[in-house]
């Protein structure tokens, strides 16, 4: 079995990725703002034609349509980067889980917190039983509800339960990502029930808190994105101190 990736290394990788993502977001936002500075000076009836691939070009697009879409583009860009940040966190949780499993199978630390789990072994497979059990446990873990997965890991790496407000903020953003993917960014009752709240608070473009309720449409801003990033780093640094 390969040497397990230690928790500190996993958190360091997460922190580095978060920094890169945030810088890329700011660069993308700056490029968009530069483009917006030009659009108002172009006539609505003008058109633009671009090449998107080898011998492939888009039909001429009226500038008027670009101006209309320009209002949506910043939201779309933030949603994409937000989803990538959530995925980085999800990958981190899975990597830590794998590390705990590897410690257990190496008899370095018993993963007693996992309690009783069911896995299926295929005796026709060429893989050994331990590898099959490990892969099955990982697959099952990844299909579990986010709140259960993070609760399991946090109970081990953060036994004192520090920074609950940051864990709650991360949970909120995981559900926001799910809302973007499945509900067009609309807050539904299930999102609020999962968080155990009647409303959620988000930061507007000036960094001021605003209250959002059921059926409101979520608008992710750079201040809110940065708030999410800081919560990930804060929890990550607590997890990093674990010496397993």
Answer yes or no: is pLDDT of 80 > 90.
yes
Q: What is the mean pLDDT of residues 120-136?
A: 93
Distance, in Å, from the CA atom of 43 to the CA atom of 31, rounded to the nearest integer, reads 21
State pTM to two decimals: 0.88
- The pLDDT, as a whole number, for residue 229 is 97
Domains in the chain: boundaries = 7-240
pLDDT at 190: 96
Q: Indicate if the alpha-carbon torsion angle 169, 179, 91, 102 is positive or negative.
A: positive
Per-residue pLDDT at 32: 79
Compute the distance between CA of residue 160 and CA of residue 154 in angstroms, rounded to an integer.
Answer: 9
Tens digits of residue pLDDT in 182-193: 999 999 999 999
Report the alpha-carbon distance of residue 200 to residue 35 in Å, rounded. Answer: 33
> Cβ of 229: how many Cβ atoms within 10 Å?
20
pLDDT for the residue numbered 1: 46
């Amino acid at each position: 079995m390969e040497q397990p990736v230690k928790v500190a290394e996993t958190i360091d990788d997460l922190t580095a990725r978060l920094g890169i993502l945030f810088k890329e977001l700011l660069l993308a936002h700056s490029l968009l703002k530069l483009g917006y500075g030009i659009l108002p000076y172009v006539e609505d009836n003008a058109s633009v034609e671009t090449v998107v691939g080898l011998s492939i070009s888009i039909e001429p697009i009226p500038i008027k349509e670009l101006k209309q879409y320009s209002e949506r583009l910043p939201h779309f860009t933030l949603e994409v980067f937000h989803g990538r940040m959530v995925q980085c966190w999800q990958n981190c949780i899975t990597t830590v889980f794998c590390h705990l499993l590897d410690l257990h199978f190496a008899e370095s630390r018993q993963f007693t917190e996992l309690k009783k789990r069911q896995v299926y072994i295929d005796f026709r497979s060429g893989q050994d039983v331990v590898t099959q059990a490990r892969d099955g446990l990982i697959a099952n873990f990844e299909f579990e509800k986010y709140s259960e997965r993070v609760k399991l890991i946090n109970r081990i790496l953060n036994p004192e339960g520090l920074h609950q407000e940051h864990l709650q903020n991360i949970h909120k953003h995981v559900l926001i990502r799910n809302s973007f993917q499945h509900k067009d960014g609309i807050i539904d009752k299930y999102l609020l029930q999962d968080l155990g709240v009647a409303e959620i608070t988000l930061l507007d473009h000036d960094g001021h808190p605003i209250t959002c309720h059921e059926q409101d449409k979520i608008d992710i801003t750079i201040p809110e994105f940065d708030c999410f990033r800081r919560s990930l780093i804060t929890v990550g640094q607590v997890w990093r101190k674990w010496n397993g």
